[in-house]
């Protein structure tokens, strides 16, 4: 590793962000100006939420299935574990078998947990 990496490597990302942000802002403003020119008609019927033509009952602020929530929690856990793999993978060729068995232990716990949640039916949708 002879090349050094400095925070300045990220300046182009900032530039890209600025360009993309500028594009989105300009387009949104432009469409607002052009599209807003014509006379707008406001009626209750028109501005109601779309509900396939029948009367709207309640609104969309209702609790939904806990299953989605469980998926989100498991996603957080697995995401963190995957992040742990990356520094290991980069150094894999230098650590050799040692590193492999270290990760195998980590992976063993992970797969045990994975087996457990599958057995408990975390991905069963009914």
Partner 1 sequence: MITRYLFYFLSILALYSAIMMLISRRQIHSVLYLTLAFFAIGGHYILLNAQFLAVVHIIVYAGAIMVLFLFTVMLLNLNTEQKSPKKMSAKIGAIVSGGMLMIVLIAILRTYDISMTHDPDLTQIGLIKNLGKVLYEDYLLPFEISSVLFLTAMVGAVLLGKKEQI
Partner 2 sequence: MTIFIIYKVFLCSVILILSLLVAMYSTLIERKVAAFLQDRIGPDRAGPFGLLQPLADGIKLFFKEEFMPNTADKFLYILGPSLTMLIALLTSAVIPWSIPVIIGGKIYPLQVADINIGILYIFAIVSMGVYGIMIGGWASNNKYALLGAVRASSQMISYELAMGLSIISLAMMTGSLSLKDIVEQQQGFHWNIFYQPLAFLIFLVCAFAETNRSPFDLPECETELVGGYHTEYSSMKLGFYLFAEYVNMFVSGAIMATLFFGGYHFPFVDKLGLSNNTLAVVGFFILFTKITFFGFLFMWIRWTLPRFRFDQLMRLGWKALIPLAILNILITGIVILVR
User: Among residues 57, 108, 61, 120, which one has the least CA distance to residue 81?
Assistant: 108
Residue 26 binds partner 2 (CB under 8 A) = no
Distance CA 22, CA 120 (A): 48
CA dist 30 → 34, 36, 37, 38, 117 (Å): 6, 10, 11, 14, 50
x/- string (CB under 8 A) for partner 1, residues 75-104? xxx-xxx-xx-xxx-xx--xx---x--x--
Q: What six digits make up the tokens of 48?
A: 């109601």
Q: Which residues bind partner 1 (CB under 8 A)?
A: 1, 4-10, 58-59, 61-64, 66-70, 72-77, 79-81, 83-84, 86-88, 90-91, 94-95, 99, 102, 105-106, 109-110, 112-114, 116-117, 120-122
Q: Which residues bind partner 2 (CB under 8 A)?
A: 5, 9-13, 15-21, 23-25, 27-28, 30-32, 34-36, 38, 40, 44, 46-52, 59-62, 64, 68, 71-72, 75, 78-79, 82, 85-86, 89-93, 96-97, 100, 103-104, 107, 111, 114, 118, 123-125
């Amino acid at each position: 590793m002879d090349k050094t990496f400095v925070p300045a490597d990220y300046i182009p990302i900032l530039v890209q962000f600025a360009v993309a942000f500028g594009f989105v802002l300009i387009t949104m403003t432009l469409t607002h100006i052009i599209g807003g020119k014509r006379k707008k008609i406001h009626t209750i019927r028109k501005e109601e939420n779309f509900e396939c033509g029948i009367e709207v009952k309640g609104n969309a602020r209702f609790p939904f299935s806990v299953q989605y929530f469980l998926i989100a929690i498991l996603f957080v856990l697995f995401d963190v574990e995957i992040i742990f793999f990356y520094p290991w993978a980069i150094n894999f060729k230098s650590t050799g078998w040692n590193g492999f068995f270290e990760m195998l232990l980590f992976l063993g716990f992970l797969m045990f947990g994975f087996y457990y949640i599958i057995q408990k039916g975390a991905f069963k949708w009914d």
